[in-house]
Amino acid sequence: MAEVRVGMVGYKFMGKAHSHAYHDLPLFFPNVARPVKQAICGRDANALEAARHQFGWNSSETDWRRLIERDDIDVIDINAPSNAHKEIVLAAAASGKHVFCEKPLALTLADAKEMLTAVQIAGVVHMVGFNYRFAPAVQLAKSIIASGRLGRIYHFRGVFLQDWIVDPSFPLVWRLQKDIAGSGSHGDLGAHVIDMARFLVGEFAEVIGMSETFVKERPLATEMTGLSGAGSSSAEMGAVTVDDATAFLARFQNGALGTIESTRFAPGHRCTNSFEVNGSLGSVRFDFERMNELEVYFRTDDEDVQGFRRVLATDQAHAYMDAWWPPGHTIGYEHTFIHEVVELMNAIEQGRQPIPNFVDGVKCQQVLDCVDQSIRQRAWIAVPEL
């Protein structure tokens, strides 16, 4: 199979997830173009070298500009903090490199649109990292809805609940700073729920929301890794400049109603990314903490056996599962990234755009922006057509 040489910017939480995906893909999907871990990039030379060795990359760069200039790189993978996305994407597109960028695509809607225009003008392949779409159970939900088996869709309700910053002494990591992250739970967690809603139900028509920052100040961070960090030993504090929780109502273009909530202040919820879709003929519901299962209900079942049934989406009939284990042998979080990269590699080899791509990233950013507007104005905001 063809090889696709990857240069990756970022080496922490998402860097590890992406590295694992590039490593395992050839083992289980031998008929897909093979990603080559050509170069990894980060600013801290010592930490970068440790990551390069641990994750199995061929080389490293401490300046992303040099990474993009290299002629032995085909695709630039960006999983650095959100404030770095735009500049790297624009430079990569100008150099004719394909781009795989984590969500949210940018700090603002205007920046996201500029990034989309750049990759479209350059004619490069572009993908945005909405990995949860790639759980086989979610793919099954999509198939059931698209086939009409739920009938007319009435409701989408989705939540992404975490609890990792409930302790007010947790330090001020970059995800809590607007100039770096863009937003808090809204853009980090809510973006995934918005994308899931678009994927399953369709485009948003209008939204109205509310948000809150429960802890206004936190100790300055001395270390940050993924979703963890260490605080300063001094009493010096810094302002939290993003939301801790956001919730909003929505109407979809097809007439369905939606409720979406994201928070990092839900004790006991480590990663409750769940949704339920109700239609005239039935319902589906999913919780990522039980990611191999989809609960399905059909009104057409005989009355004496009606009720939600648990479908274990591990048979070969389910998306991607023919590459993995015998039925009933489950897969995990990391497999969503492998499936995501399968789509990216196939798109590059086939000369098409992967799904989801920067169009999806911009549409998600558009909804995020409209919710923010509604919070400021305390009013319903129409979501314009892209």
Per the listing, tokens 């897969």 go with 331
Sign of CA dihedral 354, 355, 358, 359: positive
Domain co-membership, 40 together with 10: yes
| 105 occurs within a structural domain | yes
Q: Last residue of some domain: 65, 100, 132?
A: 132
Please indicate, yes or no, whether residues 97 and 179 belong to a single structural domain of this protein: no
User: Residue type at 335?
Assistant: H
pLDDT at 358: 98
Each residue of 163-185: pLDDT tens digit?
A: 999 999 999 999 999 999 989 99
Q: What pLDDT, on a 0 to 100 scale, did the predictor assign at position 231?
A: 60
Cα separation, 77 vs 89, whole angstroms:
9
Q: Residue 20 is part of a domain; what is its CATH number?
A: 3.40.50.720
pLDDT of 205-231, one tens digit each? 999 999 999 999 999 988 766 566 666
Residue 197 sits in which domain range? 135-354+364-377
Contact predicate 220/238, CB 8 Å: yes
Q: Which of 76, 110, 132 represents a domain boundary (last residue)?
A: 132
Indicate whether 382 belongs to any domain: no
> Per residue in 282-334, pLDDT tens?
999 999 999 999 999 999 999 999 999 999 999 999 999 999 999 999 999 99
Q: What is the pLDDT of residue 221?
A: 87
Same domain as 97, residue 171: no
Domain match, 104 and 159 both: no
Question: How confident is the model over 229-254, as pLDDT tens digits?
Answer: 666 555 799 999 999 999 999 999 99
d(CA 321, CA 386): 35
- Number of domains within the chain: 2
**Mean of the per-residue pLDDT values of the chain:** 96
pLDDT tens digits, residue range 42-62?
Answer: 999 999 999 999 999 999 999
pLDDT of residue 232: 55
The pLDDT assigned to 222 comes to 81
Of 117, 132, 147, the residue that ends a domain is 132
- What pTM was estimated for this model as a whole? 0.95
Looking up residue 231, the CATH number of its domain turns out to be 3.30.360.10
Give me the pLDDT at residue 386, please. Answer: 84
Half-sphere exposure of 360 (CA within 13 A, CB side): 27
Beta carbons within 8 Å of 279's beta carbon, 6+ residues apart:
145, 150, 151, 152, 153, 154
Q: What is the pLDDT of residue 27?
A: 97
Q: Which two tokens stand for residue 294?
A: 């989809």
